[in-house]
Amino acid sequence: MGLHSCGFGRPKSLLDPARLTLSCNGQLRKKHQDSRALWKHEAVQKYLETLSKEYQEVSHLLDADSKNDFEQRTLRRRRADLSRFVTAFQEIKEAEREVQELETMCRELDSRDEKQLLELALEEKETLDKKINTLCRKLFQLLVPKEKYDKSHVILEVTAGRTTGGDICQQFTKEMFEMYQNYADYKRWTFDVLNYTPAEIGGLHHAAAHISGDDVYRHLKYEGGTHRVQRIPETGLSSRMQRIHTGTMSVIVLPQPEEVDVKVDPRDLRVDTFRSKGAGGQHVNKTDSAVRIVHLPTGLVVECQQERSQLKNKEIALQMLRAKLYQQIIEKQLSQEQSARKLQLGTRAQSERIRTYNFTQDRVTDHRIAHDARNIKEILSGKEELDKLINRLLEFAEMEALTEYLENLQSVEGGGC
């Protein structure tokens, strides 16, 4: 007995953030961008009623105690699976009944003597509305399937783009790398720098880090893409050049399951050694401990220079290479599975941007969800404000996944989108 034996399917997983899609029915998508509106959708109510009915049937079969041990275990697992949905469904229904009772009471409280009681009733109603919104989000988090790689560790890479005049790209890349490093600390993750190539004037050309902890890929998967900066360079330019400059940097986030089983033939590798660049004391520029590996069949290049030991750097570089090869396999599968999707929300192409950091207006704009956030410095500190922005993006993606499922359901029932 499967979770969706009632005939309803769960929404498809959105593994690749580049394929977070906009729905074919714009009016429906707009209607369901918030969880409260989505909760009232007929298909959601019908689906949850079906799950509740199945939960009662399974409970009745267990109470009858007429099954063998294997069937009993299967039914118990099924009931436990269903209970999460049914409990959340019933909690929302109960809260809505309480709201209706309060609304009825408020309509009857008109006299001045009852003004204080009316204020208390309205305050309680506001509290219940917030509770219902929270319960709806909780329910939809249960309905949207967890992606296979959400709990995986990641390899995060940052690379400076190009701009006309100044070194704002390299400086911005350094700030972004530090932002993710601080965010890892805020989330109590482990942040291990694998490669760090500084620019000449205090910025950063390229860097990579391995980030491990709870649900790392789930939180960072939508950070991959082109980030744009708009700012007036602080130093190094004549008064004629003191104007707003625009630059870019790119972020790549690669999921790295604990066991990445990708075979690499040593004959397909070219291994180069070179002297480390950057901080490192007397060791720097005196030994060829840094390692660069080129995978000849694909042209992929990885570097590691953080360890003093050439052997350790080679081991880490191979780990990075396997992760990149593994990502290529994932993306190939996704392109096959999701070729029918109508509009990509974004790609990693340099011509696109997922987010703009406008320093002159103290504004960060995420173009995928048309959301503006204020206080750039707080966001770049990599703590609470960045976490809010990332969680808003995750909630939007979950609503999009569920909305797409409802549209597909409507298409089947109504004969078209």
Tell me, what's the pLDDT at 137?
79
Q: How far apart are CA 161 and CA 249, in angstroms?
A: 5
Question: CB 223: neighbour CB atoms within 10 A?
Answer: 23
Angle at 106 between CA 104 and CA 108, to 5 degrees: 75
Cα–Cα distance measured from residue 121 to residue 255, given in angstroms and rounded to the nearest whole number: 49
| pLDDT of the residue at 263 | 80
Please give the pLDDT value at position 337. Answer: 40
Edge-to-edge strand list for the sheet holding 153-160: 190-198, 204-212, 153-160, 245-256, 225-231, 355-358, 363-366, 371-374
pLDDT at 31: 42
Query: In Å, how far from its chain's centre is CA 262?
Result: 25
State both tokens at 85. 């949905």
Q: Cα separations (Å) of 18 from 158, 221, 338, 345, 406?
A: 17, 9, 11, 6, 21
Query: With a cut of 50, which residues of the chain have pLDDT below it?
Result: 1-33, 279-285, 336-350, 415-417
